[in-house]
Every structure is written in structure tokens, then in C-alpha cells.
Amino acid sequence: MPNKINLLVTRISVFIITKNEADRIGQVISAVKEIADEILVIDSGSSDDTLKIASSYSARVIFNKWQGYGQQKIFGENQCRNKWILNIDADEEVSPELAIEIKKILAEEIPEDIAGFRVKIVNKFRFETRPKKWAYYYNQFRLYNRDLAGFKDSTVHDSVTLKSTGRIRQLRGIIYHQSFRSYSHWIEKINYYSQMQAQDTLTKNKNPTAAKIFFAPILAFFKAYFIRRYFIYGFDGLVYSSLFAFSRFAKAIKIREIFRAQKC
């Protein structure tokens, strides 16, 4: 029986950036094996079994020193051998429905004016096997033709943009996004990301006022609880919203701290 991948008209490369993702990289790779002609793991220095596990799933592992999110993604797409690329993060898992949808797309010739496809990245919190109905999501350009689109060169933001003209279509299937393993992990990420965001904002010379520092976490809490619909998680939703608010507060006070240090 021929390999299912060989039946595809269009072949894609999937690349994933990693660092210490041994507990979830196997599941992430397994979810794309049926649609990927090539799977790459771009690692920035894991000290756990990430590389061993990724290799056991037949992924090609490449080391690249960390310089920033955009830079790491650009490096990853440049290592891919196929014109069509799907990028996912190590905390994201392609749903079975999305895998089937992508497989159908790849089984036919994709029109030359199609630059790629957007996909919904849906929150899946710890202890959930699937996202809740009405769970918050963001829509991102993830499956793309590298001749027509690619990642921006940014240390903080990693998003695919058009290089020239081209149409972008919407996929119906979703990607599950489980951003944190535990509350401790979430707090660690807040500390890490807020520091990067503060440094990035510093280059724009935007020193937050005392009023902004005071109101930022309050507004962020309401944004998370109501707009991001964290209220659907009950008491856990209050916790998630509080942590989201704290992340905005941490960013603001770190920016203020940097500006004050420059005046000394």
C-alpha cells in the first residue's frame, strides 16, 4: 500500500521552535505526521529529552541560538525544503479535523494566487481534552506559500505577513493551544515575556504614566473575563483573568523601572 503522503499533490514542511518541550513535543509532532512531508524542530538549547523524543518521531532537529521569536521563525522557514509551510508552536496541537481539512487541500493543485490560509488558535486549558465551546481564539496566518509570505523580523512578535499580492483563505479546523503547564509555569512565562515586551516598548520611547500603570491591570482583567470569555471557566476563569491582568501590570512597571534607571 503506497504511503499516504505520496498521494498528495502539494507537499508541506512543518516546523516547530522548541526549548525544553519533552513533555509535549511527541504529541505535537504526531498530530501532523499524516500531512507533513517534512517535520523540522528548531531547538535553541534544550536540556531535557526534547531532541531525543523529536528524533524518535522522525523529525529533523536543528540547533539555532536564540535571537528572538521572529528571527527563530525566519531561520526555521529557511530550513524547509518545500514551498508550502505550516508553522506551529510546541504548545499547539493540530486538531484531527484540521489535519483532514489540510490533507484535502494538499490533494489538489493549490491556485498560484493563494498565498496561504488562516487558522483559529483556540485556548485549551489544563485538564481539558478539547477546548470548551465559546473558548477564546485568535486567527493567524499559519499555512503559507513561502514565495508569497513569511515571518516578520521581530524579537517579540512572530507573525506571517504577505510579501506581495496574494489571497488568504480561512480554514474551518482549529489548533488547540495550551499555553501553560501549571500556574507556576504561567507565572514564569509572565516574568519572561513582560521583560521582553518592556525592552521592546523601550525602543519606542513610551514611558507609562502612573494612571496607566494603575488602570492597565483593571482593564486587562475585564478584557480577559468578558471579551476573552474566561467567565465560561467558572472560578478558574477568575484566576486566569487575574493572571492576565498581572501580566499587563508586570510589563508596565518594568517599563517604568527601565526609564527610571536611565535617568540615574
Instruction: State pLDDT tens for residues 192-230.
Output: 999 988 888 777 777 889 999 999 999 999 999 999 999
> Whole-model pTM above 0.75?
yes
| pLDDT (0 to 100) of residue 3 | 46
Q: 10 in helix, strand or coil?
A: coil
For 39-56, write each residue's pLDDT tens digit. 999 999 999 999 999 999
C-alpha cell at 148: 508569497
Q: Which of 92, 219, 68 is nearest to 157 (CA)?
A: 68
For 111-137, write each residue's pLDDT tens digit. 999 999 999 999 999 999 999 999 999
Q: Report which DSSP code applies to 157.
A: -
d(CA 33, CA 256): 46
523580523: which residue's cell? 153
| pLDDT (0 to 100) of residue 8 | 80
Q: Which of 92, 74, 115 is nearest to 28 (CA)?
A: 92
- Mean pLDDT over all residues of the chain? 94
For 245-257, write each residue's pLDDT tens digit. 999 999 999 999 9
Domains identified in the chain and CATH numbers: 4-177 (3.90.550.10), 183-263 (no CATH)
Tell me the pLDDT band of 73, cut-offs 50, 70 and 90.
Answer: very high
